Amino acid sequence: MKLSKLSPKQLIEIDACTRCGECLNYCPVYAQREEEDIDPRGKIQAFKAFIRSQYGLWARIFGPKKLDEEKLKKFSEMVYRCTLCGECSTSCPVSIDAKNLWLALRETLVEMGHYPKAAERLKANVLEAHNISGDEGDERVDWLEFLDELPDDRYQKERAEVAYFVGCVASYFPLVQRIPQAFVEILDKAGVDFTLLGGEEWCCGFPLIGAGMKKEAKALIQHNVEMMKKKGVKRAALSSSRS
**Measured between alpha carbons, how far is 171 from 243 in angstroms, rounded to an integer?**
16
Q: What does pLDDT average to over the chain?
A: 93
Q: Is the pLDDT of residue 239 over 90?
A: no
Over residues 123-168, the pLDDT tens digits come to 999 999 999 999 999 999 999 999 998 999 999 999 999 999 999 9
Nearest to 172 by CA among 123, 120, 230, 126: 126
Nearest to 5 by CA among 72, 74, 51, 60: 51
In this prediction, residue 80 has a pLDDT band, given cuts at 50, 70 and 90, of very high
Q: Which amino acid is at 58?
A: W
pLDDT of residue 196: 96
In this prediction, residue 241 has a pLDDT band, given cuts at 50, 70 and 90, of low
pLDDT of residue 240: 61
150, 196 Cβ separation under 8 angstroms: no
CB neighbours of 114 closer than 8 A, spacing ≥ 6? 72, 73, 75, 76
CB neighbours of 31 closer than 8 A, spacing ≥ 6? none
In this prediction, residue 59 has a pLDDT band, given cuts at 50, 70 and 90, of confident
CA 70 and chain centroid, separation: 26
CATH number attached to the domain at 8-115 = 1.10.1060.10
Over residues 32-50, the pLDDT tens digits come to 989 999 999 999 999 999 9
Query: What order of strands is seen across the sheet that includes strand 162-165?
Result: 194-196, 162-165, 235-238
Mean pLDDT value across residues 28-34:
92
pLDDT of residue 243: 38
CA quadruple 36, 37, 41, 45: dihedral, nearest 10: 120
Domain(s) labelled CATH 1.10.1060.10 in the chain stretch across 8-115
pLDDT of residue 40: 94
Q: Is the pLDDT of residue 223 over 60?
A: yes
pLDDT of residue 237: 82
Give this prediction's pTM.
0.86
Over residues 185-212, the pLDDT tens digits come to 999 999 999 999 999 999 999 999 999 9
Q: In this structure, is the dihedral angle defined by the CA atoms of residues 170, 172, 178 and 184, taken in order, positive or negative? A: positive
**Measured between alpha carbons, how far is 129 from 109 in angstroms, rounded to an integer?**
25
- Cα-flanking dihedrals φ and ψ of residue 2, to 5°? -90, 150
In this prediction, residue 89 has a pLDDT band, given cuts at 50, 70 and 90, of very high
208, 214 Cβ separation under 8 angstroms: yes
Q: Which amino acid is at 12?
A: I
**Measured between alpha carbons, how far is 46 from 174 in angstroms, rounded to an integer?**
41
